Each structure stands twice: as C-alpha cells, then as structure tokens.
Amino acid sequence: MSNQTTLTEFLLLGFSDDRELQILHFVVFLLIHLAALMGNLLIITAVALNPHLQTPMYFFLVNLSFLDFGSISVTIPKSMANSLMNTRVISYPGCVTQVFLFILFTATDLALLTIMAYDRYVAICQPLHYERVMNRRACVQMAASAWITSIVYSALHTGNTFRLPFCQSDDINQFFCEIPQLLKLTCSDSYLSEVGGIAVGIFLLLNCFVCIIVSYVQIFKTVLRIPSEQGRHKAFSTCLPHLTVISFMVFPGTLAYLKLTSSSSSGLDLVVGVLYSLVPPVMNPIIYSMRNKEIKAALKKLIVWRLFSKS
C-alpha cells in the first residue's frame, strides 16, 4: 500500500502510446490553447481600449475572459508537455497546484456568470434603477466577493482531497488532475468526507443555476412585452450568448462529478473532461464576439488600428 505521505507523483491519462499520435495530440492541443489565449486576449484588449465599453456587462466579461485564459492554461500545457516528452508523469505538488487553480478559476467563472445574469436582469427589467444598482463600486465588490469566496472554497476542497490516503493506484484516468478521478484512487472508507464536500459544491452550483434561470425567466417575460421587434432582438442578443456559455460549462461539469462512483470508461471520462475544461475557454470569445455587435465593432476597430499602425 502507498499513501499520500509516500506518493511523489501521479500518472495522467495518455491519449496514445503511438509516437505519431502523441505529436498529433500536441499539435491539436497547441492550436486549441493558442485559439483560447488569442480570443480571450482580444476581448480583454478591445474592452480595455474602447471607452464605450466601460460598462458593468463588459467589466464582468473581461473578468470572465481572464478566468478562461487562466483555466485553460492550467490544464493543457502539462498534457502537451507529456505528449511531447513521451511521459505521463505529474508531480504531487504539480497535481495539487493544478487542482487548486482549476477549482479556483471554475468556481469564480460560475459566480461571475451568475452575477452577469443579475446584471442583465437589472438592465432589462429595471432599467431606471440600473446605474444606481450596478454602479462601479457595486461591480467591484461583487467581482471581489466572487474571487475571495472561490479562493476559500478551492483551498478547502483541495486540502480536503489531498489529506486522504491514496491506496488504489497513482494512475489518474484523465488528462489533468481532476478531483472525481483522484477520489477513485483513495481508500474505500476514507473518501466519504470529500464526497460530502463535492455534494456541497454541486448544491452551490445548482443554486447558481437556479438563480440564473429565475433571472432569465423574468428577463424573457419583460422582453416579450417590448412592442418593437428591434428592441426584442437587441435584448435577446445580449442574453443568448450568456445562456450558451452557461450551458457549455454547467452540464458537462455536473456530469463529471455526479458520475463519481460509476465505473464509466476512460473514453467517456475524457470526453466529459474536454467538454467542461477546454470547450468553454475556446468558445466563449467566439460566442460573445459573434452575437454582440459592440464587441464585433470594437474588435474590428482594434484590428484595423493594428494594421494601420504597422503600416
């Protein structure tokens, strides 16, 4: 038997033992990483340089892009390096760091998506009170609360996981250190306390999701009462991207934790892991830039300015 006092490393899931497929995996993940970094950096830069986008919605969008930037940078680089070096090893401290940062970015992401739903509710359902309710100080306080709460939750969740003895194996059935897969490696009579922690996390996630749904039910009721078709289209155009982003994140992530005790195949675990850890950081900039005319205009202005400055 080995436990957490003697364990010095874990083995991550390898996509293939074939060298050519390992290089292909490296190239694909590199392209995904670059696409996510470029997309999120473009949104951050466009909002920062455009004075017309200094509003609460875009303030939270910048925070969301920063979180997506950090989230995908936690998981992908180690998997890429392992494929390039033909290894599966991740150190024990590296695994702890990966778990802590991934939970931090994901939990803050969810909290910000909930805040953004509330922002849309106030903007559409109570427009006369919007500037008073969503003033700059309130926005900073809400964002800071999301970060601080997530840091505390991530620290408790990570500490509670790695205090458990790992008696089964050091082979993690995922391409990054994921808590559901780590718990499968612990002694059968020792992981129940952490399952309770996961249950609390799922409860908080569902509460956020319910708050988002309630906000959008009120929003849609208000939008349907708008007499002009152009007004309804404008209101929906600011809401649909947000709902799409939430769906990409919430459903696969919940599935990954709900199937903790199941004996699902490594293929299904891998697909679910990719869906909730890699797809949102890549898709979020695309969804927001394609459905938002102001973001598209700011990005065009930024690209044109860069081209002329180089000329």
What are the beta bridge partners of residue 147?
none
Q: What is the pLDDT along the chain (311 residues), one digit of tens a residue?
A: 444 446 788 988 877 778 888 899 899 999 999 999 988 888 888 888 887 888 888 899 899 899 999 999 999 999 999 988 888 899 999 999 999 999 999 899 889 989 988 998 898 888 888 888 899 899 999 999 999 999 998 998 898 888 888 876 788 888 899 888 888 887 756 556 656 666 777 777 778 888 888 888 888 888 777 777 766 666 666 667 667 777 777 777 667 666 655 555 566 777 778 888 888 888 888 777 666 677 777 777 766 665 565 55
The residues, ordered by sequence, that sit 6+ positions from 130 with a Cβ below 8 Å of its Cβ are: 122, 123
Residue 171 DSSP one-character state: B
Q: What CATH code would you report for 13-310?
A: 1.20.1070.10
Q: How many CB atoms lie within 10 A of CB 287?
A: 19
pLDDT of 1:
41
Helix axes 92-125, 192-224, angle to 10 degrees: 20
The per-residue pLDDT for 257 is 67
- Of 304, 210, 286, 300, the C-alpha closest to 254 is 210
Residue 264 has phi, psi (to 5 degrees) of -70, 160
Q: For residues 66 and 40, is the Cβ–Cβ distance under 8 A?
A: yes
Q: Could you state, in order of their start, the residue ranges of all structural domains in the chain?
A: 13-310
**With the C-alpha atoms ordered 206, 211, 216, 217, is the resulting torsion angle positive or negative?**
positive
- Per-residue pLDDT at 29: 92
User: For position 292, what pLDDT does the model report?
Assistant: 67
